[in-house]
């Protein structure tokens, strides 16, 4: 496993962004694990997380001009990744984000940050069915000066997003863009298998994976 993947998992577990138990998802499925990027909520953690995103982005070789972080959880991810790209890879990348509601005063509008233009890489936390991804893609698709370069997420649950195929693949095929990730559920399983104290988690995750997972 790549070092940045293991660091991401360790930090996610440490701050309870990745937790294990019994969780009801939006889909109604009962999952033995849950990922909540809202628990990436201090400077040390965001520095680690931003570096993991930056390393995955740099490793991909993807050509892009700016980052777009969908409200709300994508906003700090875009900021931390932009900082890490600058500090670690000496790449100065602007970023922007949307508001949930249009601002009627001040500068107004639904967007904030750098102008949304050029080749845009969406950065977000997790992909299950791809609903949030579609919303972000729609914003960029309806912006005259912007084109989709791709998307990067922290965790790909590798579950169905349309028919008998994973949400990531569905997004890639429909919009003709690459969808990158730092980790997926199989990386989590690999990490758990290398940690004897977590061995009791393997069976419920495998059972869920067999029921709802798609490679």
Could you list the active site residues? 103, 105
Crossing angle of helices 43-60 and 74-89, in 10° steps, is: 70
* Burial of 194 (C-beta count, 10 Å sphere; 0-12/13-18/19+): exposed
Q: Is 76 left (phi over 0), alpha (psi -120 to 50) or beta?
A: alpha
Of all helices (H) and strands (E), which one includes residue 139?
helix 131-141
Separation of alpha carbons 40 and 73, rounded Å: 9
Closest CA to 5 of 138, 189, 128, 182: 182
């Amino acid at each position: 496993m790549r070092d940045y993947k293991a660091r991401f998992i360790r930090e996610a577990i440490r701050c309870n962004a990745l937790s294990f138990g019994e969780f009801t998802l939006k889909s109604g499925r009962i999952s033995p694990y849950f990922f909540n990027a809202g628990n990436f909520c201090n400077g040390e953690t965001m520095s680690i997380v931003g570096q993991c995103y930056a390393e995955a982005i740099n490793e991909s070789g993807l050509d892009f001009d700016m980052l777009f972080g969908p409200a709300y959880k994508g906003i700090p991810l875009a900021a931390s990744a932009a900082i890490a790209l600058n500090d670690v890879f000496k790449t100065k990348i602007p970023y922007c984000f949307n508001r949930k509601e249009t601002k009627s005063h001040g500068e107004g509008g639904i967007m904030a940050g750098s102008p949304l233009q050029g080749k845009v890489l969406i950065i977000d936390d997790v992909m299950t069915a791809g609903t949030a991804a579609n919303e972000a893609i729609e914003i960029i698709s309806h912006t005259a000066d912007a084109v989709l370069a791709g998307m990067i997420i922290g965790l790909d649950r590798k579950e169905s997003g349309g028919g008998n195929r994973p949400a990531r693949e569905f997004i890639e095929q429909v919009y003709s863009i690459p969808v990158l990730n730092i980790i997926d559920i199989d990386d989590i399983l690999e990490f758990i298998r290398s940690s004897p104290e977590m061995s009791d988690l393997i069976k419920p995750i495998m059972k869920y994976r067999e029921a709802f997972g798609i490679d």
